[in-house]
Amino acid sequence: MKAVIATACWGANYIDVLAKYSAASLLAPGNLVRASERHEITWQLVGQKDGHRQFRATPAFRQIEKICDIDFVTFEDAGIKNGKVPHGFDNNKYTFLSMLQNCSMRRAIGHDVIMFNYADCIWADGSFSNSLDLMEDDDTDALLSFGAPVDEAAGKKALEIFRIRSKAGEPIEINSRDASRLIAKNLHREARLRFWEAEDFTNTPSYLLWEVPGQGLIVRCCHQTIIALRVKPDDEVYSRGITSGSLDGNYSATVTEKWPYRVVRSSDQVALFSLFDTDGNSKSPPDVTREHALKRLLLNVAQSQRRLLFQPILLKYDDTDARIWSERLEVSRTVIDKFLVGEIEGALRPNQQRVGDTNRFIGKTAGYLSFYGCRLIEAVAHSVFAGVIKTILGPHGCRAMRKFLGCLLNYSIISIQTETKLESGGAMTRFIKYLRLLFGLKRTTT
């Protein structure tokens, strides 16, 4: 197959992480080297010219260029001005990243598969080539799994043990069992808030964790990492790209609804993680229980993403105790059954069965409102009119509007399901999200 590795990276710090850690992990013998023996690979690096020069000067680059072709794509090539490049941790960064990934998807036309590699992504030895081999299955158009967030400082320190300095490019050679052990030991504090049985819990539980003592972790995840996609330029899902949100958020919902996909459920086959750093804190306030947080999230994600929770992903650093794995899997499945089979379906069904004709009318109306309203509101939010609105409302008015819309988003009846192809956990929810974007007055590039 002809495959593209898509990596968007900007800023000296991220280029350094890319070269020293992500690229070094791909230089493990079971990754790029093995994959290049069976497949034709191009690494596409989207970034700034300074960043490209910085990457070219690294030992990792000098070794990688011997293994595969490298396509340097500048922001100017992608139609982006340097003045619009975001800095720091905010939603603009992820919107910008999605735009760069769309650019990579367009440039991948003519290849068979596009693989997504982030600057801070670490691949266990063999995981990259295994992922590409799985895409040879004609019944798999998308490959998904879970990229665990590891604390950046702790992860870098732990990875040095696996760096082979005597080899060209100084590769990091870590097998899947050692990678899973590293993940379990060095999870980022935000990831630790996703343990269902922990005292503190997150307000945004897009994935849940259960510990298997002495053996590994069980992950149930509705926002999964898209590892690879089939390049299908004539398919609307591919040609439109990421229209909102992120690759692993909104776009994964569309892909898992429309395309045949495969979830890699064992770290023995594919193990990957990110070196994660953020100042954010998603800990739930005292008056929000874990049950309430999970129910709220599940009502806001697409049905196709809710279904992903029924496919547990096992991060195994030991599998000698089959009994405890079975017991812990049952514990995690009981939680998912309670919410997805019990409370969530119970919340949706009464509204769907209330009064046939009336409910169909409301559903279609909400659907059309979502479809056309979202596009209008999004266009205004991304235009110069956002500044005019800010001037008219003033700072106090904007804050009041955001607060009001936030209440609507969290407490509106989002169980009205549209009978069009617009379902995303409630058509009204999507519409309100775009209204919040407008009154947030954060101009982004699309």
Which string of DSSP letters, residue by residue, matches 366-400?
HHHHHHHHHHHHHHHHTSTHHHHHHHHHHHHHHHH
Q: What is the pLDDT of residues 165-180, one digit of tens each?
A: 999 999 999 999 999 9
Region 99-120: mean pLDDT is: 94
Whole-angstrom distance between the N-terminal and C-terminal Cα of the chain? Answer: 31
The pLDDT-based confidence of 402 (bands split at 50, 70, 90) is: low
Query: Quick check: helix, strand or coil at residue 430?
Result: helix
The structure tokens listed for 377 are 């509101």
Q: State the number of CA atoms in the 13 A half-sphere of 241 facing the CB.
A: 16
Residue 325 has pLDDT above 80, yes or no: yes
CB 406 within 8 A of CB 436: yes
Positive or negative, the CA dihedral 76, 60, 116, 90 is: negative
pLDDT of residue 442: 42
Q: Picking from 107-116, 254-263, 406-415, which range would have the lowest pLDDT averaged per residue?
A: 406-415
- Over residues 213-222, the mean pLDDT reads 96
Task: Name the percent of the chain lying above pLDDT 70.
Answer: 78
Model pLDDT, residue 339: 82
Return d(Cα 115, Cα 227) in angstroms, integer.
6
Give the separation between CA 284 and CA 277, rounded to whole angstroms. 19
Q: Which residue has the higher pLDDT, 80 or 423?
A: 80
Q: Which DSSP helix (H) or strand (E) runs through 410? A: helix 385-411
Residue 392: pLDDT band (50, 70, 90) is confident
Least confident of 219-223, 231-235, 295-299: 295-299
Per-residue pLDDT at 388: 79
Which has the minimum average pLDDT: 220-224, 308-312, 388-392, 436-440?
Answer: 436-440
Q: How far is Cα of residue 92 from the mean position of the Cα atoms in its chain?
A: 15
pLDDT at 57 over 90: yes
Please say if the pLDDT value at position 114 is more than 80: yes
| H or E element at residue 303 | helix 303-308
Whether the predicted pLDDT of 398 surpasses 90: no
Task: Give residue-wise pLDDT tens across range 181-216.
Answer: 999 999 999 999 999 999 999 999 999 999 999 999
Contacts of 107 (CB under 8 A, 6+ apart): 4, 44, 71, 73
The bridge status of strand 261-263 relative to strand 142-145 is parallel
Task: Find the DSSP H helices in 123-251.
Answer: 127-134, 152-159, 176-186, 189-192, 236-240
- Walk me through the domains of the chain, giving residue ranges and CATH numbers: 2-186+221-278 (3.90.550), 354-440 (no CATH)
